Amino acid sequence: MKVLDAKFVQGFIRMCNDGWEQGWHERNGGNLSYRMKEEEAESVREELQTGGEWREIGTSVPGLAGQYFLVTGSGKYFRNVILDPEDSLAIVELDDKGERYRICWGLVNGGRPTSELPSHLMNHEVKMQATGGRHRVIYHAHTTNVIALTFVLPLKDEVFTRELWEMATECPVVFPDGVGVVGWMVPGGREIAVATSELMKKYDVAIWAHHGMFASGEDFDLTFGLMHTVEKSAEILVKQLSMCPAKLQTITTQNFRDLAVDFKVTLPERFLYEK
């Protein structure tokens, strides 16, 4: 099968375009990666090259040795992915130590995978282990309202989680584990990758102060839906803070406890503090 005919590739392209349409991907902002199933790599084998040069990932992910990933290219624009996926995307294979990668398909006009490859792969490694292999998608987006909130809220998991939960009743059901926050760091390197993957042990969402968000999920729908839900909640919070910084009423701690029972989710106690 041709790479572009594969269902996972079409889902990936659609998700890039959905993110662009949301306004989360100015210029080359944001990146996406998908950990391919063995049978998916097999199904497109006829188009995978094996002669590419091995390059350093910049970190070590031994748990992902030998696996294939579909990723966006560095400097590529999400708005162009749907028009020319072979220019914007790449399939990369990892070596048997999980320290180097090589390009097997895509980036036909040159280039390299996203500069956030260390964060993507370290998150994949953590989430693969934490979910028994179910999570396959890692998504980074420059979500406007979440970024705005990182200038006005304390950069604490407890504050962001609780404030975002209060903005929409579905939130504690969609992200019951909450969200993690990292303070401002230089993007694109191992240090921010380590900090983010540490948060991913506990959460499916990590906020990068003054930069954006990372989300992890099983498939494109769930991961995009998670990003969308968190960002929409942040938009409501921005509106509320703009209209009237002191809430007249809200979803209470007891409301959350009642919701958790009916929707059969476990909400960590540290987010259920009395305000």
Neighbours of 156 (CB within 10 A): 11
Q: Which of the residues 2 through 31 are near ligand 13P (CB under 6 A)?
A: 28-31
- Rule CB under 6 A: choose which of 41, 91, 94, 116 binds ligand 13P: 116
Is residue 150 within 8 A of residue 159, CB to CB? The reply is no
Q: Provide the 10 A C-beta neighbour count for residue 116.
A: 26
115 binds ligand 13P (CB under 6 A): yes
CB of 211 to ligand 13P, least distance (A): 7
CA distance 229 to 168: 9
Cα 86 vs. chain centroid, distance in angstroms?
22
Q: Which is nearer to ligand 13P, 116 or 157 (CB)?
A: 116
Catalytic residue among 116, 125, 163, 235: 116
Query: Tell me, what DSSP letter sits at residue 127?
Result: H
Q: Within a 13 Å sphere around the CA of 1, how many CA atoms are in the beta-carbon half?
A: 13
Count of residues that bind ligand 13P according to CB under 6 A: 12
- 183 contributes a contact to ligand 13P by CB under 6 A: no
Least distance CB 250 / ligand 13P (angstroms):
33
Tell me how crowded residue 221 is: count the other CB atoms within 10 A of its CB: 13
58 binds ligand 13P (CB under 6 A): no
Which residues are marked as active site? 116
Q: Which residues bind ligand 13P (CB under 6 A)?
A: 28-31, 72, 74-75, 114-116, 140, 187
